[in-house]
Amino acid sequence: MDQATVYIILAGALGLFMAWGIGANDVANAMGTAIGSKVLTIRQAVIIAGIFEFAGAFLAGGQVTSTIRKGIIDSGVVAQSPELIIFGMLASLTAAGLWLLIASNNGWPVSTTHTIVGAIVGFAIVGLGPDAVKWGKVGYIAASWVVSPLISGALAFFLFRSVQKLILNTDNPIANAQKYVPAYIFATGFMIALVTLFKGLKHIGLELADGQNYMIAVVVGLITMVIGKYYISRIKIDPSDDKDFHFANVEKIFAILMIVTACAIAFAHGSNDVANAVGPMAAIISIASGGAVAQESATPAWVLLVGGIGIVLGLAMYGRKVIETVGQKITELTPSRGFACLLAASTTVVIASGTGLPISTTHTLVGAILGVGFARGIGALNLGVVGNIFMSWIITLPAGALLSIFFFYFFKGIFG
């Protein structure tokens, strides 16, 4: 077997490992709110995540992939040393996958984007020299990790406040939920349709005018709303359910909305974070197949397939600990609170995906959960758990970098 084939097989295996880590950590935290608020079972979450992560990766994953592959390392330096790039990308996938395994085992929701960027910077410093790293780009990415939880936290805060004002703190919360929840469903359908149209259709060569995109998104939002209204009309309202928890019947209505937003966050997550596994894989395969270091090479379908399969397996096999942290330990979640978290997070991710900013879905989602907690008062937050999460975020970048340096020398020693 020639060396190029070995590289491609290794890229597939390590890409699967990295995607598995994304599923165990990132998708688990994306689905944690739906599972924590008891709207979905683990099994249902795996099915929903599988379908919508795939759709997001295939339709809207392009821009972020290229940012991670091209933006951090100077392409001029890359072109001179393709062999080192192969070792470096293999090291990055191994390092990132291993760190995600450690974090998932401890129930820490860390950022896969953080992890892979740290890993790529780590190997680049020792393999290509510090000058090969575009530190301005790294700073730009790092700034976005601070900005994303702030944006999603603020959005979630105001969304949940609107739910309190329009529905929960009124004389007739059930009637108001039936009245206003369809509007929230429309907003979710509209937004997800918009990102698919603006970003996704370019990949299949179909580009529409902005006006057409907005019109189609309105239609999709209306269809989603009609389907939502149908399911809301079928909910059995039982006054006795409200004895233990005053809003039990209202939360049944929000549970419908929660399922729509869980689909939305899975789609948004797929568009952003599948790239963390398939980007380095595609770079290795492109070089090993005799191409130059691809700036914009089309990602082979089987690479996306490996990414999608790995993500679903990781969630199903090892996602439980992170799901518990996100869904139950930061603040107590109900369907109405979980909805506000998910819609705020997916809106933030969709904006970032559209602008090519590789933000962290994890930071965005945890920021949104904190925003909902703040809307109920600081006492609603478990500050010990929040402190542990922030600590794991700080460690992630250097952990990815150090592990990547170790594995870079390991691969270089074997193949170099």
Measured CA distances, 29 to 146, 202, 282 (Å): 18, 29, 26
Tokens 């907003």 sit on residue: 187
Q: Give burial (CB, 10 Å; 0-12/13-18/19+) of 378.
A: exposed
pTM of the model: 0.85
At 343 the pLDDT is 82
- Each residue of 7-16: pLDDT tens digit? 999 999 999 9
Cα 49 from chain centroid (whole Å):
11
**pLDDT score of 138 more than 80:** yes
**Distance of alpha carbon 346 from alpha carbon 268, whole angstroms:** 6
- Each residue of 144-173: pLDDT tens digit? 778 888 999 999 999 999 999 999 899 888
Measured CA distances, 78 to 131, 136, 156, 199, 212 (Å): 12, 17, 41, 28, 40
| pLDDT top residue among 62 and 322 | 322
- Each residue of 367-404: pLDDT tens digit? 999 999 988 888 888 999 999 998 998 899 899 999 99
At 20 the pLDDT is 94
The mean pLDDT of the chain is: 84
**Distance of alpha carbon 28 from alpha carbon 327, whole angstroms:** 9
Residue 295 sits in which domain range? 3-415
**pLDDT score of 116 more than 80:** yes
- Each residue of 201-221: pLDDT tens digit? 555 556 777 788 889 989 999
The DSSP-derived string for 140-163 is HHHHHHHHHHHHHHHHHHHHHHHH
**Distance of alpha carbon 189 from alpha carbon 354, whole angstroms:** 17
Cβ count near 161 (within 10 Å): 17
* Domain count of the fold of the chain: 1
Total residue length of the chain: 416
User: For residue 22, which of 313, 394, 284, 263 has the smallest C-alpha distance?
Assistant: 313
User: For residue 100, which of 317, 267, 303, 281 has the smallest C-alpha distance?
Assistant: 317
